Amino acid sequence: MDIFLLLIGGLCLVVGLAGAILPVPGPGLSFAGLILLHISSYTHFTSTWLVTFGILSVGMAVLDFYLPIWGTQRFGGTRYGAVGAVVGMLLGIVVLPGIGLVVGTFLGALAGELLAGLPLKPATRAAVGSLIGFLTGVLVQVLLCLAMIVYAIIGLWGHF
């Protein structure tokens, strides 16, 4: 059973890192990996770190949704652009796997702002803001997932 927990926990950590870039709850999966490793006999993490990573994972799930919206509004966009960014991000994943996430976020925000009646230049500025918010969220998620992977490696280090 411990080997199963070790393998599934490690898999969750790695898939969580990939999920930090894709629209999958990356930090949540990585955190689940830490929990699985914790309940195995291979390592035991401190409650303080587990609670900290849990809070950060939940907080990142919320921020991941709001950062593109914040970026759009910070750069002069409207609610139309924020909604367009989210819709574009989801459509981009389906239409162009890989780069569609980034391109879709930008084009969705741009389309939303143009539908709201903004001229091209301010609409483009708002779309860039949305993209910056999205990329900031991805960066923070990747860093959080990497921190959990490093913490797991340190915890497992003496067992192999």
Cβ within 8 Å of residue 42, ≥6 positions away: 2, 5, 6, 155, 156, 159
d(CA 10, CA 66): 29
pTM: 0.83
Confidence of residue 160 (pLDDT cuts 50, 70, 90): low
In tens, the pLDDT along 75-120 reads 888 888 888 988 998 898 888 877 888 899 899 999 999 999 999 9
Tell which wins on pLDDT, 32 or 63.
32
